[in-house]
Amino acid sequence: MDWTWLWIPATLAAAAAQAGRNAVQRSLTATLGTLGATQVRFLFGFPFALLFLAVVFAIDGGPAPSISAEFLLFVIGGAVAQITATALMLAAMRERSFVVVTAWTKTEPIQVAVFGFAVLGDPLSLPSILAVLVATLGVVLMSGNPANATGRGSLRPALLGLVSGACFALSAIGFRGAILTLDSGGFFLQATWTLAWSLGIQTLILIIWMILFNRPLLTACLAAWRTSIWGGLLGATASQGWFLGFALTAAANVRTLGLVEVLFAQFLSRRVFSHNSSRRELAGIALIVIGVGALLVVSTR
């Protein structure tokens, strides 16, 4: 049976869970700071990734995939890039609207498409490229004019968001590359196996850093477990969806469809953070919807 279509619902679920996780992390930056809120998604997400893996092993019944040097190179690269991207995103969110920063980070699909073609050989068709461009234009439109942003250092959050998007693009390529190196197990096992490794590496890196340089922060992260556990659950769930998508189709398709996260962020921004959207932002959302819709038509033909 052809399960390729599963990348679409998996990506939609991932985008919804990620918007919720970002909201939880943003609420934690006031007490834990940027690094502490960054660590939450990994420290509290890793146990859920292990739980997902145990369930998949129980259903699949096959042996664990073999680990190669190429797999480790891809997964470590993706893990480090994602830590950097998340920290930059949260730093930007401390200075600018939740939904607008989410939009800035979503300039990644074009970079994913280019990196995916150059590194992994993922195909690039003209219709799909146009769909990615339209959706990304919507993201750029949503970000508004940084010169009109209020507050100190208006260009700083824009740059942080843009660089964060580039790091997210590199992490997507790293994780898809790691999945593609595995030569055994079904796509569900390959995706979940890679997820467990990536979250484990990320958790280890950040715990070691905090033990060496900021032990009080590690204690504060553990003390905030009641809120953090939701960030971990939503983060692991989102990552499970992204990795399933990476196992089934090109990373550019997954990350472009993932732009619907901006719509979920828009809802959370209004409901939770009381941010109102401008006409410019609404026009950007319309372009995102058009681009994503076109991508789905192209990819399901």
Residue range 118-143, pLDDT digits in tens: 888 888 788 888 888 888 788 777 66
pLDDT value at 272 more than 70: no
Grouping H, G, I as helix, E, B as strand and the rest as coil, residue 259 is: helix
Distance in angstroms (rounded) separating the CA atoms of residues 32 and 164: 20
Q: How many CB atoms lie within 10 A of CB 29?
A: 18
Q: Which of 113, 108, 144, 110 is nearest to 285 (CA)?
A: 144
Q: How confident is the model at residue 260 (pLDDT cuts 50, 70, 90)?
A: confident
Q: How confident is the model at residue 246 (pLDDT cuts 50, 70, 90)?
A: very high
Residue matched to tokens 């922060």: 217
b/e map 75-110, b = 16+ CB within 10 Å = bbbbbbbbbbbbbbbbbbbebbbbbbbbbbbbbbbb
Distance in angstroms (rounded) separating the CA atoms of residues 161 and 232: 22
**The two structure tokens encoding residue 82:** 């994602």
* Mean pLDDT, residues 151-173: 78
Distance in angstroms (rounded) separating the CA atoms of residues 46 and 154: 35
**The two structure tokens encoding residue 2:** 């052809």
What kind and span of H or E run contains 59?
Answer: helix 46-60
Mean pLDDT of the chain: 84
Query: 69-105: per-residue pLDDT in tens?
Result: 999 999 999 999 988 887 787 777 776 666 566 667 7
b/e map 275-289, b = 16+ CB within 10 Å = bebeeebeebbebbb
Distance in angstroms (rounded) separating the CA atoms of residues 68 and 91: 35
101 contacts 157 by C-beta, under 8 angstroms: yes
Q: How confident is the model at residue 148 (pLDDT cuts 50, 70, 90)?
A: very low
* Mean pLDDT, residues 149-153: 45
**The two structure tokens encoding residue 271:** 């409901």
